[in-house]
Amino acid sequence: MLKEFKKFILRGNVIEMAVGIIIGFAFNKFITSFVNDVLMPPISLLIGKINFSNLYINLTNQNFDSLAAAEESGVPIIKYGLFINTLIDFLIVAFVLYVIITYYNKIKDRKNKEEVQSTPDTKVCPFCLSTINIKASRCPECTSELTN
């Protein structure tokens, strides 16, 4: 069982997946910082200097000056401002992933077309229909003499 686990871990795709997850976490921090520190301040300035992260709905009759005060008192609140920030984070990540995947697929399709158009390394023997090297003058399967 230990040998199988070692074989599984050392496979290339498991390591690539781990690297992808680590990069994804770092990318998530980057996007969250971009939304909170770069994107939201100008948006809040445009719509009346509202800080989205401080928007909430108090589900009790008590009044609080800020989200922090409401959280500290332990009353039930709906933090819809943080939800708006998270939604914007998600939309940015989804758009970036869409662009990356679209670009990757274009490169992959271009590479596949180039491989199809490249000169083949093999040919088919007209006598036994086996695949042989393009430079062969005699078929290794049926020993027929081939004309190039």
Ordered by where they begin, the domains of the chain are 2-117 (1.10.1200.120), 119-148 (no CATH)
pTM for the model stands at 0.55
Residue 30: partners with Cβ closer than 8 Å, 6 or more residues away: none
Closest by Cα among 86, 76, 29, 75 to 52: 86
Closest by Cα among 100, 67, 101 to 85: 67
144 close to 138: Cβ distance less than 8 angstroms:
yes
Digit-coded pLDDT (tens) for 55-76: 889 899 898 888 888 889 989 9
Higher per-residue pLDDT: 134 or 120: 134
* Mean pLDDT value across the chain: 83
Digit-coded pLDDT (tens) for 72-123: 998 999 999 889 888 888 888 888 888 888 998 898 888 777 766 666 788 8
Q: Helix, strand or coil for residue 132?
A: strand
